[in-house]
Structure 1
Amino acid sequence: MEIDKFTQSCHLVSPLIRHLGVAMKFADIEYSAKVSGVVRAGKSVNTLEDLLDRDIQKNTIKHFSSSSRMLIKIIFVCNYNFICSCATMSTHIENTLMDPVNTAYKQTAAGALQNLPTKSLFFKRLKVDEASAFIWMQMIVTALAPLMHYVDNLFHSWKSAQELLYLL
């Protein structure tokens, strides 16, 4: 997969993280930095396979700042947002993001989420109505599902990359 196409899909996620408020501020900063890191790495290689190959050849795959680690962390956030978007689209009755975000958070991490906005405030911050947000989240789900599957298979296809997954 070309790095440009990958990072374009990743950029769909940024506004969702950013508009969840203070609770996700640091996640947004870290996510954006990781995506920027992969964009920078894309200046010397064209595909995710090449990116992973380069880290394996240089024996940097397990280094803290390696492109491979950045890729794993990006996929973690994409997975979180995929789950959150699916859960948000399935809760039409409530005006809270707590349940969808909790569901996603429990499936990808753990912790307290006290400062989340309501669903309507979240949509207001995004400057969209619920119907538009639903369409946007459907685009995210559609874009991220094959992307996450692809990267997961990519990492599981190399022994060194599998070892990295166990470190995280």
Structure 2
Amino acid sequence: MDEEEAYFEDAFEDTATGTPLSAIAEAFEELSALVSSSGSFDDLRLKPFCDACSLVSILFGCLGIAFKFAEMEYVSKVRDLTEASKRYATLNSILDFDVKNDSVRTPGSLSRNLRRVRQGLDLIRVIFQNFPSSDECSLKEAASTAYAKVCAPYHTWPVRTAVSAGMCALPTREQLLLRLNETDKSAGKEMRRYINASLPVIEYIDKLYISRNISLDW
């Protein structure tokens, strides 16, 4: 078992008291409440953020080879941020460090890692938006549309080509629901919870960059 698989298994074990989707939705509802409260908007702690993000790795694993690149990148970035939480208390603090050292966009910097994790959260959010609780939209359609909107503009042509080819290997809607231990109805409910809860967190992260005059087009 490699490091990515081990990390995936650790995250999956954290959902033992419920389905993966319900655990993810609950974790992001807690984060959303934090960033929306007046006393803590500017001070989201890094460790609980990483704990919630680690659960999302389960979803990338369930999507199969088409999103293997995303799973590997996402897991490695979350792991780096988790390790950094031993030194930095908040998301603000890691950006402050990189701004001071002019390393925000440097490959491997924590600010760059945070940007990529944020992209992963948004990718799942848009997939869920395109995956209603009905048979009107296939997983391939939902994932292709989400990838084109969220990730493709920032990926090289070889990566985009590989993802496009891998879309044919996505599980069916029924296979995905089975892997997540959900029905159409229950999955729709949990997906809506994540959509609503993750957006304030994503917007919060964007504001951290914007407040430091860092553009979001990377």
Which is worse superposed, 135-144 or 72-81? 135-144
Q: Percent identity?
A: 29
How far 1:29 sits from its partner (Å)?
1.4
Match of 1:45 in 2: 88
Post-superposition, which runs of at least 4 consecutive aligned residues in structure 1 deviate over 3 A? none
**In the aligned structure 2, how far is the partner of 1:7 from the partner of 1:69?**
15
Deviations 1:122-145 (A, max 9, x none): 111222222222233223213311
Where 2:63 maps in the other structure, the secondary structure is coil
**In the aligned structure 2, how far is the partner of 1:145 from the partner of 1:75?**
10
Q: Verify: 1:103 aligned to 2:141, yes or no.
A: no
Match of 2:32 in 1: none
Q: Verify: 1:4 aligned to 2:4, yes or no.
A: no
**In the aligned structure 1, how far is the partner of 2:137 from the partner of 2:97?**
46
Q: Verify: 1:138 aligned to 2:181, yes or no.
A: no
The answer (yes or no) to whether the contact 1:13–1:140 under 8 Å persists in 2 is no
Matches of residues 18-167 of structure 1 in structure 2 within 5 Å?
18-89=61-132, 92-94=134-136, 96-110=138-152, 111=160, 112=164, 113-159=167-213, 161-162=214-215, 165-166=216-217
Structure 1 residues 132, 11: CA separation in 2 closer, same or farther (over 3 Å shift)?
farther
Where 1:88 maps in the other structure, the secondary structure is coil
Unaligned runs of 5+ in 2: 1-43, 153-159
**Pairs aligned (count):** 163
Structure 1 residues 62, 109: CA separation in 2 closer, same or farther (over 3 Å shift)?
closer
How far 1:49 sits from its partner (Å)?
0.6
Where 1:56 maps in the other structure, the secondary structure is helix
How far 1:4 sits from its partner (Å)?
2.1
The answer (yes or no) to whether the contact 1:23–1:116 under 8 Å persists in 2 is yes
**In the aligned structure 2, how far is the partner of 1:142 from the partner of 1:109?**
20
Question: TM-score scaled by structure 2?
Answer: 0.69
Q: Say what the alpha-carbon RMSD is for the aligned residues.
A: 1.7
Unaligned runs of 5+ in 1: none
**In the aligned structure 2, how far is the partner of 1:43 from the partner of 1:95?**
42
**In the aligned structure 2, how far is the partner of 1:40 from the partner of 1:8?**
11
Q: Which amino acid aligns with 1:32?
A: V
The answer (yes or no) to whether the contact 2:139–2:170 under 8 Å persists in 1 is yes
How far 1:34 sits from its partner (Å)?
0.5
**In the aligned structure 1, how far is the partner of 2:73 from the partner of 2:205?**
19
The answer (yes or no) to whether the contact 2:81–2:110 under 8 Å persists in 1 is yes
The answer (yes or no) to whether the contact 1:96–1:117 under 8 Å persists in 2 is no
**In the aligned structure 1, how far is the partner of 2:177 from the partner of 2:149?**
23
